[in-house]
């Protein structure tokens, strides 16, 4: 997100997004919205102040016009007419100035709430890591980032106009009561009735919106699953079945949308009809009182002006109720995400920072990765190898240690800083290739690409490192993506690097080049390569063979080929026929 630096907003305004969104109160949706308001209370209060002046200035306009008619036009007093005209001009100037300032505050508050919610959501997604897809559907997360932040921003934005509308209605009611008690009572009694009717419609509307939104998130998740597994679906002949299911769910979602629109149309009609009734009653009574001589012509014009003016604050008041409830519904989904706890929580008191040059061990399997050396792990099954790599990278709980310090006693930020696990589930990000690879200097990037034998990928791009990478790098083949991911991992240059099958999608010649260059590139740093490739295994200082979850043998690749038949059968599988 590119920071937005508002101009001339005063000291209360700051660039957006803020560097640190803070620690949210996610015990409930109401507490979260209140916390958001508290983080922006200066600009919210400023916006409320401008909105009150803006609305009250409009509320006094009919009264001033009425005075100008009675004191100036009816009395044929030019001086009085000029005075009241000047007052009207002043009110218009105040209204224009405060209206601009209110809108600027409202936009800042909307953006602030939306940005802050997005920052918190992204930070929580990163904190949850692998826990996130297990606890919440991908469509749910997408909906938070697309629709929910908008509703939360609307809920914060409407506070200024909503408060200004309440004050303006009170001012008009007082003015009407001062001139005519019956007219004042129409407003005093009519507003609560209007709000009660709107509330009756808003409740079923938001229940249906919640159901619609849940179906929409589920359908988004299904669409993402279909796209991700399209090749598999086609290969298994299941594309038509999934398409039919998606079509049926789309129709169900459409029907739910129609139900939402039906109630929404009733609410929209009520927001015009009910204020219109109040306006009609005030105008009719005012006309009757004028004919009876109970009010002056100027007061009649003022009453009509009040009636017309009341349409705006009454509608904004009903809109405020609607948007705040929508924001509350959206905030419930946000706090649900923020309330998720990672499967591997950080310790209350982290242990000392280990020396990354120390040995990395996995007591459960008996594997020891010696500091500063290139170690290879060959397993009888891929699942066993992945389990060991996940424990060493702290992606699943285990007794793994680095420099004798248990990884479970370190916070995850420290573990991620010291240990990088690069596997084939990683994705290439959209944007310039230079940024996708880590944004380092061009010389470093080219060196890493050379180690990963991916220089040809760069040479094939007309724009070079400035070339735009499509979503998930779909313009690259599987082997090209794998080599680019390897280059990215090398550019991070972590103290401990764990590579999971880094050459599984490349040809033998490319694999041989990568194996030879990888050893030199990681000289003196701890590296573990999970692989069954003989070319890569032959370059390792030590190879560990895992079967049944335990290390069964260690040694060089060539020694294990001779001394351990099970190892030989695993790494030469398919080569001898």
Which residue, of 306, 338, 370, is where some domain finishes? 338
Contacts with 570 (C-beta within 8 Å, 6 or more apart), sequence order: 378, 379, 380, 532, 545
8 A C-beta contact, residue 2 and residue 74: no
Measured CA to CA, the distance from residue 118 to residue 126 in angstroms comes to 12
Tell whether the model's pLDDT for residue 551 goes beyond 80: yes
Measured CA to CA, the distance from residue 455 to residue 510 in angstroms comes to 11
For CA atoms 520, 521, 522, 527, the dihedral sign is negative
Which residue, of 290, 306, 338, is where some domain finishes? 338
Confidence (pLDDT) at 241 = 67
8 A C-beta contact, residue 485 and residue 428: yes
Judge if 244 and 382 occupy the same domain.
no
The predicted model scores a pTM of 0.66
Measured CA to CA, the distance from residue 567 to residue 551 in angstroms comes to 11
8 A C-beta contact, residue 338 and residue 120: yes
Which residues, listed in sequence order, are joined to residue 469 by a DSSP beta bridge? Answer: 431
β-pair type (374-379, 542-547): parallel
Place of tokens 């996940």: 390
Which residue, of 278, 306, 338, is where some domain finishes? 338
Collapsing DSSP to helix, strand or coil, 504 comes out as: coil
Question: Domain range spanning residue 531?
Answer: 360-427+493-571
Domain presence at residue 126: yes
Judge if 86 and 219 occupy the same domain.
yes
Percent share of the chain, pLDDT over 90: 45
Judge if 407 and 334 occupy the same domain.
no
Measured CA to CA, the distance from residue 554 to residue 536 in angstroms comes to 16
Judge if 263 and 397 occupy the same domain.
no
Name the domain count of the chain. Answer: 2
Measured CA to CA, the distance from residue 388 to residue 400 in angstroms comes to 9
Judge if 323 and 380 occupy the same domain.
no
Domain presence at residue 446: no
8 A C-beta contact, residue 327 and residue 154: yes
Confidence (pLDDT) at 210 = 66
Collapsing DSSP to helix, strand or coil, 429 comes out as: coil
Measured CA to CA, the distance from residue 173 to residue 192 in angstroms comes to 13
Find the range with the poorest average confidence among 40-54, 119-133, 304-318, 462-476.
304-318
Q: Which phi and psi (to 5°) does residue 437 adopt?
A: -85, 0
**Confidence bin at 232 (pLDDT 50/70/90):** very low
Domain presence at residue 63: yes
DSSP conformation class of 4: B
- Tell me which residue of 118, 153, 103, 109 sits closest to 24, measured CA to CA: 118
Confidence (pLDDT) at 119 = 92
**Rounded-to-10 torsion of CA 91, 96, 98, 101:** -170
What are 10-46's pLDDT values in tens digits? Answer: 444 567 788 889 999 999 999 999 999 999 999 999 9
Tell whether the model's pLDDT for residue 224 goes beyond 70: no
**Neighbour tally for 146: CB within 10 Å:** 11
8 A C-beta contact, residue 141 and residue 196: no
Tell whether the model's pLDDT for residue 205 goes beyond 70: no
What are 375-433's pLDDT values in tens digits? Answer: 999 999 999 999 999 999 998 889 999 999 999 999 988 999 999 999 887 888 888 88
Alpha-carbon distances, residue 297 vs 61, 66, 180, 300 (angstroms): 16, 8, 14, 5
């Amino acid at each position: 997100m590119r920071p937005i630096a508002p101009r001339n907003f005063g000291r209360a305004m700051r660039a957006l997004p803020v560097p640190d969104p803070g620690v949210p109160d996610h015990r409930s949706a109401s507490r979260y919205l209140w916390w958001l308001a508290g983080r922006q209370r200066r600009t919210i209060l400023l916006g409320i102040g401008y909105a009150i002046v803006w609305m009250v200035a409009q509320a006094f306009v009919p009264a001033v016009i009425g005075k100008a008619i009675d004191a100036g036009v009816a009395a044929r007093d030019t001086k009085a007419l000029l005075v009241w005209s000047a007052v009207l001009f002043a009110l218009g100037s105040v209204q224009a100035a405060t209206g601009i300032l209110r809108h600027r505050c409202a936009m800042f508050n909307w953006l602030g709430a939306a940005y802050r919610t997005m920052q918190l959501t992204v930070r929580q997604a990163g904190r949850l890591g692998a826990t996130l897809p297990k606890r919440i559907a991908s469509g749910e997360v997408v909906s938070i980032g697309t629709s929910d932040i908008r509703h939360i921003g609307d809920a914060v934005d409407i506070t200024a106009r909503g408060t200004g509308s309440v004050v303006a209605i009170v001012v008009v009611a007082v003015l009407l009561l001062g001139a005519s008690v019956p007219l004042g009572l129409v407003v005093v009694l009519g507003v609560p009735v209007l709000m009660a009717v709107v509330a009756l419609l808003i409740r079923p509307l938001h229940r249906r919106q919640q159901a619609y939104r849940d179906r929409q998130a589920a359908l988004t998740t299904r669409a993402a699953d279909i796209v991700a597994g399209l090749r598999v679906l086609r290969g298994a002949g299941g594309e038509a079945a999934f398409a039919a299911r998606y079509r049926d769910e789309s129709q169900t979602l459409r029907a739910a949308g129609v139900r939402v629109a039906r109630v929404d149309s009733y609410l929209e009609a009520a927001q015009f009809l009910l204020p219109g009734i109040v306006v009609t009653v005030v105008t009719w009574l005012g006309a009757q009182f004028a004919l009876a001589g109970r009010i002056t012509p100027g007061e009649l014009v003022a009453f009509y002006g009040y009636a017309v003016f009341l349409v705006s604050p009454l509608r904004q008041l009903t809109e405020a109720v609607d948007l705040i409830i929508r924001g509350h519904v959206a905030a419930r989904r946000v706090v649900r995400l923020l309330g998720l706890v990672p499967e591997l929580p950080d310790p209350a008191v982290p242990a000392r920072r280990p020396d990354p040059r120390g040995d990395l061990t996995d007591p459960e399997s008996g594997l020891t990765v010696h500091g500063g050396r290139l170690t290879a792990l060959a397993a009888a099954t891929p699942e066993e190898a992945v389990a060991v790599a996940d424990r060493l990278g702290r992606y699943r709980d285990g007794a793994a240690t680095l420099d004798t310090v248990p990884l479970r006693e370190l916070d995850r930020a420290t573990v991620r800083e010291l240990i990088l696990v690069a596997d084939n589930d990683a994705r290439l990000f959209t944007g310039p290739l230079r940024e996708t690879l880590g944004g380092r200097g061009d010389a470093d990037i080219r060196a890493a690409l050379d180690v990963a034998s991916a220089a040809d990928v760069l040479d094939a791009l007309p724009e070079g490192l400035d070339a735009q990478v499509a979503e998930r790098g779909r313009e690259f083949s599987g082997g090209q993506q794998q080599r680019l991911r390897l280059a990215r991992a090398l550019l991070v240059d972590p103290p401990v690097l764990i590579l999971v099958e880094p050459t599984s999608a490349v040809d033998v010649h490319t694999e041989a080049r990568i194996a030879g260059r990888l050893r030199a590139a990681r000289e003196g740093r701890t590296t573990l390569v999970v692989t069954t490739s003989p070319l890569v295994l032959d370059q390792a200082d030590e190879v560990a063979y895992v079967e049944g979850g335990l290390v069964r043998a260690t040694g060089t690749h060539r020694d294990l080929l001779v001394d351990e038949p099970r190892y030989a059968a695993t790494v030469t599988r398919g080569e001898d026929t």
